[in-house]
Amino acid sequence: MCGIVGYIGRRDVAPLLLEGLQRLEYRGYDSAGIVITGKPSGKTPAALKMVKAKGRVRDLEARVPKRFAGTTGIAHTRWATHGAPSDENAHPHMDPEGKLALVHNGIIDNADELRAKLVAEGVEFASETDTEVLTHLIARSEAETLEERVRQALHLIEGTYGIAVLHSDFADRIVVARNGSPVVLGIGEKEMFVASDVAALVTHTRQVVTLDDGEMATLKADDFRTYTTEGTRTTASPTTVEWEAESYDMGGHDTYMHKEISEQPDAVDRVLRGRIDDRFSTVRLGGLNLDAREARAVRRVKILGCGTSYHAGLIGAQMIEELARIPADAEPASEFRYRNPVVDPDTLYVAVSQSGETYDVLAAVQELKRKGARVLGVVNVVGSAIARETDGGVYVHAGPEVCVVSTKCFTNTVVAFGLLALHLGRIRDLSVSDGKRLIEGLRKLPEQIREILELEPEIKKLAEEYANAKSMMFIGRVRGYPVALEASLKLKEISYIHAEAYPASELKHGPLALIEPAMPTVAIVPNDDLLEKNRAAMEEIKARSGRILAVAHQEQEKADHTIVVPKNEVELDPILMGIPLQILAYHTALALGRDIDKPRNLAKSVTVE
């Protein structure tokens, strides 16, 4: 949430920062701002020049004067937490003298207490943000160096932060720090970059350093150094980003969401590549750091994620339970650590996050590690915080996902869980024939997804027909229920149509009261041993004059419309049944004129609590 980008070097900084903000806008888009260090003139020292604007990055860009020269600067695109979107609440925030500027991702938990103390001491605030508190704390420090001023201020605050700081008295540097919110350094040729996401860096460099929590860095044009908030030097080794700059382009599509839906066959092929072991009818997941003896000792699997990742975890838990015969369940990470959970040494915990930086998931991982648990990560971003904090894991290799709502990463995450379930199953009691059956099913997925994508014109017509609904119900049983949950979430996120998901078996226990012609139901109806049960649920809906759109392996006579998808193995069918509902949500939102890539009130990487 929120995007930071900064640069120090020899190039004109404003165009670089604005370009970086455009690439980061999916992280927050209610206001934006830029501040640069102007060039000193004669005896006149360097001065900070700032422009801010409520709205999108394009609104900021329209305000930046043509003459806005400098070679050092920081910029920010905001997702509001404290204070409504406005010019005043936009970052960067400056001290009253205009000598210090700061951009911040995260939340300062004790901001109200600190603000009250500063006001009592005569400080006047220009915004409603928690960030301005930190700005004043740094500015009021009397330490000799900018690094020490920042360190002193950070010791006074509680909460999460990713920050970048400029000061006109220290015009040769940018000071950055991280605690719970990502900060990535980009290493160039006599120039340095900083950002909250590599998306802002890959156009200019693929050599990066990711800060750890409690770590700071000083960036100069030709050098950088890292150290802890206690002042101890740390060693940082650059890594190479695997994604190319072109991965972040629209690629001829009207939206990133449409592009990312269409990329799913290739994305699934990537997550499978090099991992299938035909000789033993299993898969190779070397990154788990879990040998066969340790895997056989696992007595339970607990999967933790938020939103779409939680839904992927629900499907993953079912796969693990069915194939490995290990009790498994999924739980929202945001709730897990607040209920004082019993942490069992025989339980394998799996943390799921597309970005690898989701704060609720990361906090759960840190709590589990503190209590001695074994934790694996299922993430998309190499080198992310969760990838570094966990004992091992599986990268899902979906590639960059720019649209706020997740599509290809959800699909790849579920496929990754299929690989994990098969791996654990073959170590335990899953037969060779079942291993071969599932491998064949996994290999079919890319081509079957292509078949589903060819249904887009048909699904578009259905979306336009259902777009006038004020509310929709999604139902499924067992394997179909998590698909219903995810489809319901997708529709809510981008179309703003109210949607609810229920197990089909629960209709008669309350939700049937909502059924009427104006309330369409989307039914997930796989051709499995619950087919007749699902048909009975549709009978209940039709008896109450409800409209039904079925996603099934064959036409459903009780449905008003059916989207027929290819059949795979029963354990893998949920992967395919969710994809037409991504397309349905997309075209529903398109018919309603929504901003599909940047839905209101949401941001991509949720790095606040």
248-281 pLDDT per residue, tens: 778 889 999 999 999 999 999 999 999 999 999 9
Sheet of strand 192-195, all strands in order from the earlier edge strand to the far edge: 48-54, 31-37, 72-78, 3-8, 192-195, 184-187, 207-210, 239-240
- CATH classification of the domain holding 15: 3.60.20.10
User: From CA 236, how far away is CA 132, in angstroms rounded?
Assistant: 30
- Is there a single domain that holds both residue 523 and residue 400? no
- Is there a single domain that holds both residue 83 and residue 231? yes
Asked if 341 and 368 touch (Cβ cutoff 8 Å), the reply is no
Identify the active-site residue in 490, 492, 558, 604.
604
Concatenate the DSSP letters of all residues of 196-253 into one string. SSGGGTTTT--EEEEPPTTEEEEEETTEEEEEETTS-EE----EE--S-GGGGS-TT-
Q: For position 386, what pLDDT does the model report? A: 92
- Is there a single domain that holds both residue 188 and residue 281? no
Which range, 57-66, 70-79, 272-281, 380-389, is most confident? Answer: 272-281
Domain annotation covers residue 608? no
User: From CA 374, how far away is CA 389, in angstroms rounded?
Assistant: 11
- Is there a single domain that holds both residue 31 and residue 111? yes
Q: For position 381, what pLDDT does the model report? A: 86
Q: For position 465, what pLDDT does the model report? A: 94
* Closest alpha carbon to 585 in 475, 480, 459: 459
- Is there a single domain that holds both residue 440 and residue 516? no
% helix, strand, coil for the chain, step of 5: 40, 25, 40
Domain annotation covers residue 604? no
Domain annotation covers residue 211? yes
* Closest alpha carbon to 583 in 475, 455, 473: 455
User: From CA 72, how far away is CA 191, in angstroms rounded?
Assistant: 10
User: From CA 528, how far away is CA 479, in angstroms rounded?
Assistant: 10
- CATH classification of the domain holding 517: 3.40.50.10490
Q: What percent of the chain has pLDDT over 70?
A: 97
- Is there a single domain that holds both residue 210 and residue 275? no
Listed residues 231, 248, 265: the one ending a domain: 248
Sign of dihedral through CA atoms 383, 386, 389, 393? negative
**pLDDT of 173-213, one tens digit each?**
999 999 988 899 999 999 999 999 888 888 899 899 999 99
Domain annotation covers residue 200? yes
Asked if 571 and 322 touch (Cβ cutoff 8 Å), the reply is yes
Whether 409 is catalytic is no
Q: State the pLDDT confidence band at 291, using cuts at 50, 70 and 90.
A: very high
pTM: 0.86
Phi/psi class of residue 363: alpha, beta or left (left: φ > 0; alpha: ψ in -120 to 50)? alpha
User: From CA 216, how far away is CA 62, in angstroms rounded?
Assistant: 33
Q: What percent of the chain has pLDDT over 90?
A: 75
Helix (H), strand (E) at residue 427? helix 408-427
**pLDDT of 475-510, one tens digit each?**
999 999 999 999 999 999 999 999 999 999 988 899
Q: Is the pLDDT of residue 608 over 70?
A: no
Asked if 520 and 469 touch (Cβ cutoff 8 Å), the reply is yes
Instruction: Tell me the residue length of the chain.
Output: 609
Q: What is the mean pLDDT of residues 387-413?
A: 93
Which range, 72-81, 366-375, 413-422, is most confident? Answer: 413-422
- Is there a single domain that holds both residue 331 and residue 469? no
- Is there a single domain that holds both residue 146 and residue 184? yes
- The tally of domains found in the chain comes to 3
Q: State the pLDDT confidence band at 371, using cuts at 50, 70 and 90.
A: very high
Q: State the pLDDT confidence band at 544, using cuts at 50, 70 and 90.
A: very high
Q: For position 155, what pLDDT does the model report? A: 95
Q: Which domain does 73 fall in, by range?
A: 3-248
Q: Which residues, in sequence order, are bridge partners of residue 175?
A: 165, 218
Q: State the pLDDT confidence band at 29, using cuts at 50, 70 and 90.
A: confident
- Is there a single domain that holds both residue 106 and residue 86? yes
Domain annotation covers residue 177? yes
Domain annotation covers residue 120? yes
Q: Hey, is 156 helix, strand or coil?
A: coil
- Is there a single domain that holds both residue 429 and residue 474? no
Listed residues 410, 425, 453: the one ending a domain: 453
Q: Where are the beta strands (DSSP E) in 311-438?
A: 328-332, 347-353, 374-379, 392-395
Identify the active-site residue in 2, 306, 403, 409.
2
Asked if 299 and 345 touch (Cβ cutoff 8 Å), the reply is no
Domain annotation covers residue 521? yes
Helix (H), strand (E) at residue 23? helix 13-24
Q: What is the mean pLDDT of residues 578-592?
A: 97
- As a whole number, the mean pLDDT across the chain is 92
Domain annotation covers residue 56? yes
Concatenate the DSSP letters of all residues of 257-275 into one string. HHHHHHTHHHHHHHHHTTT
Q: State the pLDDT confidence band at 8, using cuts at 50, 70 and 90.
A: very high
Concatenate the DSSP letters of all residues of 303-324 into one string. EEE-THHHHHHHHHHHHHHHHH
Listed residues 436, 453, 470: the one ending a domain: 453
- Is there a single domain that holds both residue 447 and residue 553? no
Q: For position 41, what pLDDT does the model report? A: 62
Q: Which of 119-128, 415-424, 486-495 has the weakest average pLDDT?
A: 119-128
**CA–CA distance from 455 to each of 233, 408, 485, 497 (Å)?**
57, 17, 22, 23
Asked if 5 and 195 touch (Cβ cutoff 8 Å), the reply is yes
Q: Is the pLDDT of residue 117 over 80?
A: yes
- Is there a single domain that holds both residue 463 and residue 502? yes
Q: For position 206, what pLDDT does the model report? A: 86
Place of tokens 């009790």: 327
What burial letters (b/e) apply to 118-133, b meaning 16+ CB within 10 Å?
Answer: beeeebebebebbbbb
Of residues 80 and 370, which shows the higher confidence score?
Answer: 370
User: From CA 473, how far away is CA 544, in angstroms rounded?
Assistant: 14
Concatenate the DSSP letters of all residues of 504-522 into one string. GGGGGGTGGGG-STTS-EE
**pLDDT of 503-539, one tens digit each?**
999 888 998 989 999 999 999 999 999 999 999 999 9
Q: For position 508, what pLDDT does the model report? A: 87
CA dihedral 250, 211, 362, 328 (to 10 degrees): 80
Whether 306 is catalytic is no
**pLDDT of 435-459, one tens digit each?**
999 999 999 999 999 999 999 999 9
Q: What is the mean pLDDT of residues 127-132?
A: 91
Q: Is the pLDDT of residue 377 over 60?
A: yes
Q: For position 44, what pLDDT does the model report? A: 63
Of residues 137 and 355, which shows the higher confidence score?
Answer: 137
**pLDDT of 211-220, one tens digit each?**
999 999 999 9
Q: Which of 40-44, 83-87, 290-294, 330-334 has the weakest average pLDDT?
A: 40-44
Long-range CB pairs of 538-546, under 8 A, 24+ apart, other chains included: 540/507, 540/508, 540/512, 541/507, 541/512, 541/515, 544/512, 544/515, 544/516, 545/515, 545/516, 545/517, 546/515, 546/516, 546/517, 546/519, 546/520, 546/521
